[in-house]
């Protein structure tokens, strides 16, 4: 889920993705997960792709490794996870050491910026990214770079924060600015991917799914308050629970949206 491109590594590691913040997020997303819906949404998305054992995956913004471990364990995929946050990668590497050999041999992690890193052309069967590219302003340039890394016929899959098709509240505009996000509408985002040269682009508005997932995450998180505060603080608990509620308000008001994008090379 890591920020990339627009935010410096130092900023990430000391602010939104400090080690403490990451471990806090995992308590609502699930162990090794730092993206919306954790394992549940990952399962739902992966079954929509024609995945075969031995395929090579680039996981952009891999966070603490949940999706990489899941794809290796359940699909037999070889996954290279990259993230700009060194804290994310350190945690992911620690987790990898405890994995079974069949997962260890299929997963690698790297601290890298997807806007500047170089990978071989025609290398990956799948490029996978969850709620990461919102941090990058030059989406057009990034998607062209990613297209080169895909094998012919390879799949692009991305979920990302988007903005609704309307005038936006001042609160939402301030939130986007404070995080350094670059948000497009779902349709605009789809046009970016098409313009970068992909075919069979599907740009899907999953905002209602996002609302459902946030609601369920809160439902399961709130009863853990006492145990959570023992490990963190009451402010940490409030930051997460209030943050999730505010996301729900933004989505229901039409300010914020969640886009899901499938495409082929």
Which pTM does this prediction carry? 0.92
- pLDDT, tens digit, 9 for 90 and up, residues 145-162: 999 999 999 999 999 999
Tell whether the model's pLDDT for residue 17 goes beyond 90: no
pLDDT at 2: 47
pLDDT (average), residues 71-85 = 97
pLDDT at 12: 54
Helix ranges (H only) for 47-185 are 66-75, 86-97, 101-104, 139-149, 170-179
Catalogue all structural domains in the chain, each as residue range(s) with its CATH number.
9-264 (3.40.50.150)
Of 191, 186, 194, 184, which is closest to residue 265 (Cα–Cα)? 194
- pLDDT, tens digit, 9 for 90 and up, residues 176-222: 999 889 999 999 999 999 999 999 999 999 999 999 999 999 999 99
- Identify the H or E element spanning 18: none
Q: At 65, list the tokens.
A: 């490794």
């Amino acid at each position: 889920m890591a920020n990339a491109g627009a935010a410096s590594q130092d900023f990430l590691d000391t602010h939104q993705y400090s080690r403490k913040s990451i471990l806090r997020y995992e308590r609502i997303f699930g162990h090794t997960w730092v993206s919306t819906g954790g394992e549940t949404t990952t399962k739902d998305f992966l079954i929509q792709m024609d995945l075969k054992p031995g395929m090579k995956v680039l996981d952009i913004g891999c966070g603490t490794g949940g999706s990489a471990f899941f794809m290796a364990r359940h699909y037999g995929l070889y996954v290279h996870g990259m993230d700009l946050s060194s804290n994310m990668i350190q945690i992911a590497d620690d987790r990898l050491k405890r994995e079974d050999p069949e997962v260890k041999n299929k997963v690698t992690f790297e601290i890298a910026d997807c806007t500047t890193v170089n990978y071989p052309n025609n290398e990956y069967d799948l490029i996978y990214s969850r709620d990461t590219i919102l941090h990058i302003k030059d989406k057009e340039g990034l998607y062209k770079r990613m297209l080169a890394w895909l094998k012919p016929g390879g799949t692009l899959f991305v979920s990302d924060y988007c903005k609704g098709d309307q005038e936006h509240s001042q609160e939402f505009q301030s939130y986007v600015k404070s995080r350094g996000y670059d948000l497009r509408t779902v349709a605009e985002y789809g046009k970016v991917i098409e313009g970068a040269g992909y075919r069979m682009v599907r740009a899907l508005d999953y905002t209602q799914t996002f609302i459902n997932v946030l609601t369920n995450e809160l439902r399961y998180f709130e009863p853990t308050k006492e145990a959570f505060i023992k490990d963190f603080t009451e402010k940490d608990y409030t930051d997460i629970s209030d943050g999730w509620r505010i996301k729900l308000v933004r989505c229901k008001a039409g300010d914020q949206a969640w886009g899901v994008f499938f495409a082929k090379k």
